[in-house]
């Protein structure tokens, strides 16, 4: 006799098959969905990782037309790497294979850009030691700063932000160790070796913040430049105000390009990092001692918690041997030092 079923009481078709699946491979379908889900989850994390990789990879292409965004990004470019472990942690929490793989890409880009700086490339020796320091016009103990620099063992000491009323203090404290010196405006150079042909360098500031002199070193003459490029600011409406610094870098670059002496050193507060494309007029001609012979990033500012290497020692036709930062003084910058072979 045929049975009548209501929709509520009708057995599912293939009930026997379903039972068999439950007994044998019933768990296969959920496991398959879980595997697919691991690839489909984490698209947001993966997208952010790809964006981070693109920013680091194409940082030189970021335009400066809007708030000097390119220079701002390049100034703190190494710190973008801090986002990588955060994204990796999010990818693990999401249990997303896609996100994990995506995070590998910015990690590789960061290592390509900065992995070499993590290695200690410093060597022994070096015929000439150079120190550069923005001593800070508001330095409350210039005498202690001067003594610390004089005792550093440097052959050349380039100082920036020298206030006129503190100048006699620096001259007195360093006279014995560095008998030759010249001050032009707010920058100066103290030397163990004679100086000649000293002159200010116009970088468009309206007052002297750059100079050039010839150092009669034992291995031959060296053209030494000391510079303090204009400061930059991060402002809410104006963005990264670096136009004046960029113009000054261009003028300084032209002066160095016209320098007749092949062996040249530039020491100073450039208010920019070597990643900043706006400093190309300088970096295209000169070699960074920190990049060539340093150990680590060599961040120099601010002294309390250094976040950027804006104090530089750059050379041409001189071989960097080692580069490092010196202990803090009363300034808001750390002194930077380098040894080079002639």
Task: Specify whether 36 is located in the same domain as 181.
Answer: no
* 335, 124, 154, 318: CA torsion to nearest 10: -90
Task: Specify whether 324 is located in the same domain as 197.
Answer: yes
Tell me, what's the pLDDT at 18?
44
Mean pLDDT taken over the chain: 89
Residue pair 45/96 in contact by the 8 Å Cβ criterion? yes
Task: Report the percent of the chain where pLDDT is more than 70.
Answer: 86
**How far is 51 from 223, CA to CA, in rounded Å?**
44
What are the pLDDT digits (tens) for 112-143? 999 999 999 999 999 999 999 999 999 999 99
Tell me, what's the pLDDT at 19?
43
Domain membership of residue 79 as a residue range? 16-118
Q: What is the mean pLDDT of residues 289-318?
A: 96
Tell me, what's the pLDDT at 332?
97
What are the pLDDT digits (tens) for 217-252? 999 999 999 999 998 876 555 456 688 999 999 999
Tell me, what's the pLDDT at 24?
47
Confidence of residue 94 (pLDDT cuts 50, 70, 90): confident
**How far is 214 from 223, CA to CA, in rounded Å?**
5
Tell me, what's the pLDDT at 17?
45
Beta-carbon contacts of 340 under 8 Å, excluding residues fewer than 6 positions away, are 126, 127, 128, 130, 265, 289, 315, 318, 319, 320, 321
- Domain membership of residue 2 (yes or no) is no
- Domain membership of residue 5 (yes or no) is no
Task: Specify whether 164 is located in the same domain as 292.
Answer: yes
pTM of the model: 0.85
What are the pLDDT digits (tens) for 36-63? 555 567 899 999 999 999 999 999 999 8
Confidence of residue 325 (pLDDT cuts 50, 70, 90): very high
The answer on pLDDT for 195 being more than 90 is yes
CB neighbours (10 Å) of residue 1? 3
The answer on pLDDT for 25 being more than 50 is no
Task: Specify whether 98 is located in the same domain as 68.
Answer: yes
CA distances from 267 to 40, 104, 166, 176, 214 (A): 53, 38, 21, 22, 14
Task: Specify whether 212 is located in the same domain as 179.
Answer: yes
Two structure tokens written together for 318: 């001189």
């Amino acid at each position: 006799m045929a049975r009548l079923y209501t929709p509520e009481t009708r057995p599912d078709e293939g009930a026997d098959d379903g039972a068999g699946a439950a007994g044998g491979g019933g768990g296969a379908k959920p496991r398959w969905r879980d595997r697919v889900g691991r690839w489909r989850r984490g698209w947001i994390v993966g997208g952010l990782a790809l964006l981070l990789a693109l920013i680091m990879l194409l940082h030189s292409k970021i335009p400066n037309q809007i708030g000097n965004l390119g220079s701002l990004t390049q100034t703190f470019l190494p710190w973008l790497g801090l986002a990588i472990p955060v994204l990796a942690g999010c990818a693990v929490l999401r249990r997303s294979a896609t996100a994990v793989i995506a995070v590998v890409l910015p990690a590789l880009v960061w290592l390509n850009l900065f992995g070499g700086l993590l290695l200690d490339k410093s060597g022994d020796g070096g015929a000439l030691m150079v120190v550069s320091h923005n001593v800070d016009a508001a330095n409350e103990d210039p005498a202690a700063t001067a003594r610390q620099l004089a005792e550093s063992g440097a052959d050349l000491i380039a100082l920036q932000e020298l206030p006129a009323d503190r100048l006699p203090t620096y001259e007195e404290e360093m006279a014995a160790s560095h008998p030759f010196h010249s001050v032009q405006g707010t920058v100066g150079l103290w030397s163990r070796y004679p100086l000649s042909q000293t002159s200010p360098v116009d970088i468009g500031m309206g007052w002297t913040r750059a100079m050039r002199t010839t150092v009669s070193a034992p291995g031959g003459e060296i053209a030494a430049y000391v510079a303090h490029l204009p400061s930059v600011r991060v402002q809410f409406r104006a963005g990264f105000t670096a136009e004046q610094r960029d113009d000054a870098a261009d003028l300084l670059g032209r002066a160095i390009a016209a320098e007749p002496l092949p062996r040249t050193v530039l020491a100073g507060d450039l208010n920019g990092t070597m990643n900043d494309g706006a400093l190309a007029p300088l970096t295209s001609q000169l070699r960074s001692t920190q990049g060539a012979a340093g150990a680590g990033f060599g961040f120099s500012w601010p002294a309390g918690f250094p976040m950027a290497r804006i104090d530089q020692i750059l050379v041409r036709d001189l071989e960097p041997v080692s580069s490092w930062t010196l202990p803090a003084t009363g300034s808001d910058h750390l002194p930077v030092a380098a040894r080079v072979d002639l």
